[in-house]
Amino acid sequence: MTGSQRPDETSPGKTLLAATGICKHFGDFTANDDVGFEIEAGEIHALLGENGAGKSTFVKMVYGLLQPDSGQIIWRGEPVTIRSPQHARELGIGMVFQHFSLFQALTVAENIALALPPGESLEDLSDRVRAMSAEYGIGVDPDARIHNLSVGEQQRVEIVRCLLQDPSLLIMDEPTSVLTPQETDQLFDVLRRFSSAGVAILFISHKLEEIRSLTRRATVLRRGKNVGTVDSASRSSKQLAEMMVGSSVGDIDGQEAPKSQPDVLFAVRGLDRPPATPFATPLRNLSFVACAGEVLGIAGIAGNGQDELMEALTGEWTGAGRNVFTINGRDITRDGPSRRRQHSIGFVPEERNGHAAVPGMSLADNALLTSHSLGDVASRGVIDSDRTRQMAAEIAGAFDVRLPQENPIASALSGGNLQKFVVGREISKQPSLFIVSQPTWGVDVGAALFIRRAMLELAESGSAVVMISQDLEEIFAISHRVAVLHDGQMSEPMVTADTTAETVGLLMGGSAPLKTAGAGDAA
């Protein structure tokens, strides 16, 4: 129980927040349509739904970032209009966002001070941070600088910063998306302690097994409407997913490595890359191969060299020496992105808006951006506009991209639909090598299954797939082999079926030594 709460406000079973008939429109689009449910004091309550189902819109209204068009939010038994995030915090509502808002060069205490009222000295604040860390077992050093902390440690800073504002309700948006299994277990222990102290938690996640193990009840939204509130543990992950998508969903089992020795299609030999900025991660002697017919998963926590590796693999950075990258024995080290595409390589970077796609351009023009050098839609500098529109429509049809209108701009699509489009744009060319970073980051269950099946089918056709992912569930679902990237170094690839998530998680967190690979290690 936090200091400003009265005993009756945190008693188990007492309704803390109730929403009734919440509606929110953006022009002709209805984001929330008659949404309503209750959260009790001390309850860990899940909010589920596909991308575009209305989860973010709803929690933004609870946190004061948006106002409902109709309906009512009832806080501690009284109707309330939450005017702003500051007002929400004054009421006792805190939120930890999926993307951290921390200044890398500042200390933990300095970052926390920026979110609190002025007047308290850093020394006094540091003492409060230490006391709260000890009380809840969070383990935060107020004197540490953010850039020296792991992602899991940075998340703890966000939690402590929120707790020092004395919340009765804590909203957490995808809190485990960048954590190892061990860090996830630690976070859940902390959240259960909060719950025991009377703090209610609204937990948003796409990881359904986590929902079942952590939460007591789950409210499911679909296309802006409230499908229902159910007992989390009594429903299987598949049943929860089917509530979210409104139809049956399939499964993807773990993949077995090919029985025969596969052909090496792509090789990386001794990749070194110095840091481009003070907070970048240098790459040190990375070597691995990707074989025809397999998915090679590269696991790791964000900030351990994934961005630097992806830029080197795609040709956005070409500063390596000769024969560091070869495909079918041909040296492509100094080739940029267009030349690499001509060698039958497709790639999808992590950031879909602004990197994989231009938000203000139509889907047809976005299809053109990665096809013009292949001669598919342009000849002698003349663009075939009809063909580009036809290509975009074919990609949308084949990859179940749901369009609000014919040939819309990229920003008009939901995150999951845009991701299906950019993945489909590359896979539709049947590349010999497909390189993708975080393929299902922030997408819903249905879109994730679709994308994963498409990558598996590409591998089954004889292509090699290199997948950089923080999602261990994804790694174990579709990878034949898995390597771990930690602090700019890569482990020797392991056969996925012969290892465990716990083993990979320890390597991701740096708790186990990396056994680095030689360039010839294919299996």
Q: Write the pLDDT tens digit of every residue in 100-147.
A: 788 988 999 999 998 888 888 999 999 999 988 887 777 789 999 988
Domain limits, CATH 3.40.50.300, in the chain: 7-92+166-245, 251-335+433-440+463-523, 345-430
Distance CA 230, CA 127 (A): 42
**Cross-strand pairs, 434:** 346, 465
Contact 27, 45 (CB under 8 A): no
Tell me if residue 188 falls in helix, strand or coil: helix
CATH class of 7-92+166-245: alpha beta
Distance CA 305, CA 491 (A): 13
Conformational region of residue 269, where left means phi above 0, alpha means psi within -120 to 50, and beta covers everything else: beta
Q: What is the pLDDT of residue 256?
A: 63
Element (H, E) at 383: strand 382-383
DSSP label at residue 377: S
Residues 258, 260, 266, 268, CA torsion sign: positive
Tell me if residue 361 falls in helix, strand or coil: coil
Which two structure tokens, joined as six digits, stand for 388?
């580009």
345-430: CATH architecture: 3-Layer(aba) Sandwich (3.40)
What is the CATH T-level fold of the domain 251-335+433-440+463-523, as seen in this structure? Rossmann fold (3.40.50)
Which two structure tokens, joined as six digits, stand for 521?
């290690």
Q: What is the pLDDT of residue 1?
A: 43
pTM: predicted TM-score of the whole model, two decimal places: 0.74
Q: What is the pLDDT of residue 221?
A: 92
Tokens 């036809």 correspond to 390
Q: Where are the alpha helices (DSSP H) in 266-381?
A: 306-314, 337-342, 363-369
Which two structure tokens, joined as six digits, stand for 517?
């690979």
Q: Which residues of the chain have pLDDT under 70?
A: 1-13, 98-99, 178, 247-261, 372-375, 378-380, 442, 511-513, 516-523
Distance CA 47, CA 61 (A): 14
**Cross-strand pairs, 217:** 45, 231
**Cross-strand pairs, 30:** 25
